[in-house]
Amino acid sequence: METDSLSRVVEDQFAPETTYLNTASCGLLPRRAVEAVKKLADELATGRRGGSGDFETVEAARAGFARLVGVDADRVATGGSVSVHVGLIAASLPAGAEVLAPEGEFTSIVSPFAVRGDLRVRYVPLEALADAVRPGTALVAFSSVQSADGRIADLDAVRKAAAAHGARTLLDATQSAGWLPLDAGAYDYVVVGGYKFLLGPRGTSFLTVTEEAQRTLPALFAAWAASDDPWNSMYGPVRRLSRSARRYDEPLSFLSYHGAEHSLALLGEVGVDAVHAHVTGLAARFREGLAGLGHEAVPGESAVVAVPGLGGRAAELARAGVVVSDRAGSLRAAFHLYNTEADADRALDVLAR
């Protein structure tokens, strides 16, 4: 999508009242998503609807997410949080299995393995992750983009190392899906929280599972939503689970998915490649400006920019109407399609005081 077209979409769908650089914490909702949630809420408040939402909406969101990450919708399960998806994967591992993860990884991607108590969870620096895979490694669990500082993992190297040693891969793309091109089919499992760069309401999440991995992943959380015929699977055990990844679906927040359907459709219209070019350009401008002020940001080409030791200035920026976050002592700014060069420059102006 051309710059002018992107600008028109942003003007039509977003109305930030701050300099919002905090998508790594929570994305802004487009107008069309807000309208869909309000419509459903009004219908639920007035009794104009027989149920709490539409499964057709869930299927539209599933299909929209599948298109963004390059897999068939039958490989996508829907849910409400990343940690529940990861908990399902953790429960499938045999006692004593080794899980390899980066040091400082986001808790939702490692805690479900750690709390089991009978798995060997090994942590190494992110840059050493590929080299640390060994014959005894059962699973490599890692984020494509680190939450704390925006570093991008060496995805190709980790995939190749895992394949060479027969290890499965679990990728958390919560901080990248929506702006960083992704082939989810290249990993055994991909988990994504939908309320950040996917611009959906909180309470939406997605899990992709390869056909091979589906053979050994149990449907532990099976309920009526895990059937291809949910309305006739509400009493007694589910007689027939879905043959697709839908058997891993959780009972859902329809309000959240009624919004997510439209957020994902918007991203599909804009295109991940266009978003990637836009946000990495803004992040590069911000890094360059930081260097001019004597602040050294974490290097790279991520849409998430972190400045170690500067996290304490997040409150000052907030008072000036610039919304960022303080993560692990770093000031963290995250750029998305609704940000502009003026946003990056405004944050730099405040930091220059």
Band of pLDDT at residue 315, cut at 50, 70 and 90? very high
CA distance 290 to 189: 36
More confident: 177 or 231: 177
pTM for the full model? 0.96
Q: Which 8-state DSSP code applies to residue 209?
A: E
| pLDDT, tens digit, 9 for 90 and up, residues 238-284 | 888 999 999 999 988 999 999 999 999 999 999 999 999 999 999 99
CA separation, residue 235 to residues 130, 220, 238 (Å)? 47, 17, 8
- Considering the chain, what percentage of its residues have pLDDT values greater than 70? 100
Tokens of 41: 């809420």
pLDDT value at 58 more than 90: yes
pLDDT value at 4 more than 80: no
Band of pLDDT at residue 228, cut at 50, 70 and 90? confident
Q: What is the mean pLDDT of residues 287-311?
A: 98
Band of pLDDT at residue 17, cut at 50, 70 and 90? very high
CA distance 277 to 323: 22
Using CB atoms within 10 Å of the CB of residue 17, give its burial: 0 to 12 exposed, 13 to 18 middle, 19+ buried.
Answer: exposed
pLDDT value at 200 more than 90: yes
pLDDT value for 98:
98
pLDDT value for 153:
98
pLDDT value for 260:
98
